[in-house]
Amino acid sequence: MSFTVFLGNLPTWVSKDDIEGWLNAEGLCADSIKVIRNHETQESKGFAFVEAPTQDEMQSIIKRFDRAPLEDRLLRANAAQPTKAKGPGGPPASSGMPSNSVAGRSAMRPGGRPRRREKESGPKSAFATELANSLTR
């Protein structure tokens, strides 16, 4: 069984080492971290997958990083969805990122309109404050 966390809404500068450092600072661990990159430019696509050793560790990572503020954005963390097989003439395989279909409906209002995201006024936790301070050095 896989315990993979989807970590999204990342700035493009975030690397595997950054995520590993954040996990270590929080006392969390991961078996592997994969930042998804554009094949042509090698620039991050703004999301990553973190493989946790146990379900409890996966839940701890999700709890710690979901909606954590970073550079005027809120990170997203949730259990990764398995990729869907590409059928003949069907849509391409999923990247594990929530879409506006079943997985992404929590971000939609009734009637299919997207919910507004409210901007955070600043770091709300010690982790976010420390991260923001390290980014300004």
Residue 94 lies in a domain: no
Structure confidence by residue, pLDDT tens digits, 39-94: 999 999 999 999 999 999 999 999 999 999 999 999 999 999 888 776 666 555 55
Burial (Cβ within 10 Å: 0-12, 13-18, ≥19) of residue 58: buried
Helix (H, G, I), strand (E, B) or coil at 134: helix
Residue 76 lies in a domain: yes
Residue 22 lies in a domain: yes
Q: In this model, does residue 117 exceed pLDDT 70?
A: no
Q: Which domain holds residue 17?
A: 1-81+122-137
Number of domains into which the chain is organized? 1
Structure confidence by residue, pLDDT tens digits, 31-43: 999 999 999 999 9
Residue 105 lies in a domain: no
Q: In this model, does residue 133 exceed pLDDT 90?
A: no
Amino acid 106 reads: S
Identify the CA nearest to 128 among candidates 16, 26, 32, 12.
Answer: 26
More confidently predicted of 10 and 95: 10
Q: In this model, does residue 6 exceed pLDDT 70?
A: yes
Structure confidence by residue, pLDDT tens digits, 11-33: 999 999 999 999 999 999 999 99
Residue 2 lies in a domain: yes
Residue 63 lies in a domain: yes
CATH of the domain at 136: 3.30.70.330
